């Protein structure tokens, strides 16, 4: 017969989990990505703000557009194409640059920030594994930001073209030259290819490394991410009078070689843009980088599992 004292010491019954209520892994990943948007509004605010500032400056420049177009009519088509395309290419470069910077800063703070503000205690109480959390955070710079950069850039360029056409028509000029020379469809295709190749595949180990450092560092993750790279460069230069490690970093950040895309109707950005898919897939640097990205992310998962609040 159980006494009240025995009842007090008896362990409470474990809750019964209904298998039908288990949330599928893809849905957990989806809501984990949504959580990142909720916590880090700079993911979409920064590129939208840069696009807005650029559009404002472009709107002011439209005051002189009719005169510039009259001067361009006497130039050869190739020169016209270069001058007309220049502000659109610069808009793409600017938005891609800010999203790349946001991706680096986000990666450095993503796992260290939740330990710093102790929200990791709340998130770990949810039925979401460390693997799902790290994959959700890795998907932001590797997948979400490139796609967001593409969407914001294309929308910005379309607005620029519509505004320019309106100003030219209002000034009594033919706006068809803009539509013929720009080829926005081709530019958008080149932009998407560049983002998928460069910012998704080629930069994956960079983001993976920063996420691993973010999971390990107690404070100042940007210093812990930078100092080892600088130290290795200095030691190699002093001890062996070589700079292979620095060359490897340049190779990862800037690609195998510098290519000029202007003559092909694309936009001059970083060297990865014009590499054919077959040539890219045959490069060992791509596969080595993807293996390193996997190793870094696996280390980030283990570190998040082991590390507690700061």
**Total count of domains within the chain:** 1
Q: How many CB atoms lie within 10 A of CB 8?
A: 7
Residue 2 counted as domain residue: no
- If you count DSSP H runs as helices and E runs as strands, how many of each does the chain have, helices first? 15, 0
Q: Is the pLDDT of residue 141 over 80?
A: yes
Residue 14 counted as domain residue: no
Mean pLDDT calculated for residue range 207-221 = 92
Q: Is the pLDDT of residue 15 over 50?
A: no
pTM of structure: 0.81
Q: How far apart are CA 160 and CA 181, in angstroms?
A: 14
Task: Report residue 252 CA to chain centroid gap.
Answer: 15
At 105, the pLDDT band (50, 70, 90 cuts) reads very high
Residue 254 counted as domain residue: yes
Mean pLDDT calculated for residue range 30-47 = 89
At 277, the pLDDT band (50, 70, 90 cuts) reads low
Q: How far apart are CA 144 and CA 147, in angstroms?
A: 5
Task: Report residue 101 CA to chain centroid gap.
Answer: 8
Mean pLDDT calculated for residue range 206-212 = 95
Mean pLDDT calculated for residue range 302-308 = 86
Q: Which residues of 178-213 are buried (b: 16+ CB within 10 A; e: fewer)?
A: beebbebeebbebbbbbbbbbbbbbbbbbbbbbbbb
Among 15-24, 41-50, 114-123, 244-253, the range with the most confident prediction by mean pLDDT is 41-50
Query: Which of these, 196, 295, 203, 194, lies nearest to 249 by C-alpha position?
Result: 203
| The pLDDT value given to residue 108 | 93
| The pLDDT value given to residue 273 | 47
In which residue are the tokens 């590499």 written? 275
Residue 34 counted as domain residue: yes
Q: How far apart are CA 283 and CA 252, in angstroms?
A: 12
| The pLDDT value given to residue 11 | 46
79: domain range? Answer: 24-306
Pairwise pLDDT comparison (119 vs 7), residue with the higher score: 119
pLDDT digits (tens, 9 = 90+) for 77-104: 788 778 888 899 899 999 999 999 999 9
Tell me how long the chain is. 310
At 281, the pLDDT band (50, 70, 90 cuts) reads confident
Listed in sequence order, the residues at least 6 apart from 283 whose beta carbon sits closer than 8 Å to its beta carbon are 256
Q: 199 with 92: CB under 8 angstroms?
A: no
Q: 201 with 286: CB under 8 angstroms?
A: yes
Residue 86 counted as domain residue: yes
| The pLDDT value given to residue 274 | 55
Listed in sequence order, the residues at least 6 apart from 54 whose beta carbon sits closer than 8 Å to its beta carbon are 91, 94, 95, 156
At 270, the pLDDT band (50, 70, 90 cuts) reads very low
Residue 169 counted as domain residue: yes
| 156 burial type by CB count under 10 A (0-12 exposed, 13-18 middle, 19+ buried) | buried
| The pLDDT value given to residue 119 | 83
Residue 9 counted as domain residue: no
Residue 7 counted as domain residue: no
At 263, the pLDDT band (50, 70, 90 cuts) reads very low
Give the DSSP H or E segment for 235. helix 221-240
At 24, the pLDDT band (50, 70, 90 cuts) reads confident
């Amino acid at each position: 017969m159980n006494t009240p004292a025995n009842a007090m010491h008896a362990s409470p019954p474990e809750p019964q989990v209904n298998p039908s209520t288990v949330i599928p892994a893809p849905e957990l990943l989806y809501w984990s990505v949504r959580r990142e948007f909720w916590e880090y509004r700079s993911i979409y605010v920064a590129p939208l703000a840069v696009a807005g500032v650029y559009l404002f400056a472009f709107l002011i420049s439209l005051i002189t557009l009719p005169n510039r177009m009259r001067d361009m009519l006497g130039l050869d088509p190739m020169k016209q194409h270069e001058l007309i395309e220049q502000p659109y290419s610069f808009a793409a470069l600017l938005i891609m640059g800010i999203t790349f910077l946001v991706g680096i800063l986000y990666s450095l703070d993503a796992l260290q920030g939740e330990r710093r503000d102790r929200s990791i205690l709340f998130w770990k109480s949810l039925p979401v594994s460390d693997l799902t959390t790290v994959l959700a955070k890795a998907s932001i710079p590797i997948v979400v930001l490139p796609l967001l950069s593409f969407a914001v850039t294309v929308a910005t360029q379309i607005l620029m073209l519509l505004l320019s056409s309106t100003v030219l028509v209002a000034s009594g000029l033919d706006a068809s030259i803009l539509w013929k020379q720009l080829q926005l469809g081709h530019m958008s295709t080149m932009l998407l290819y560049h983002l998928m190749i460069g910012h998704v595949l080629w930069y994956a180990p960079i983001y993976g490394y920063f996420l691993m450092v973010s999971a390990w560092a107690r404070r100042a993750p940007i210093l812990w991410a930078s100092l080892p790279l600088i130290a290795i460069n200095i030691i190699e230069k002093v001890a062996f009078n070589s700079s292979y490690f620095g060359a490897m970093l340049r190779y990862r950040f800037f690609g195998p070689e510098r290519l000029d895309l202007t003559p092909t109707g694309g936009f001059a950005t970083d060297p990865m843009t014009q590499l054919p898919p077959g040539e890219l897939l045959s490069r060992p640097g791509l596969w080595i980088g993807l293996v390193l990205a996997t190793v870094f992310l696996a280390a980030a998962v283990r570190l998040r599992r082991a590390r507690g609040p700061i």
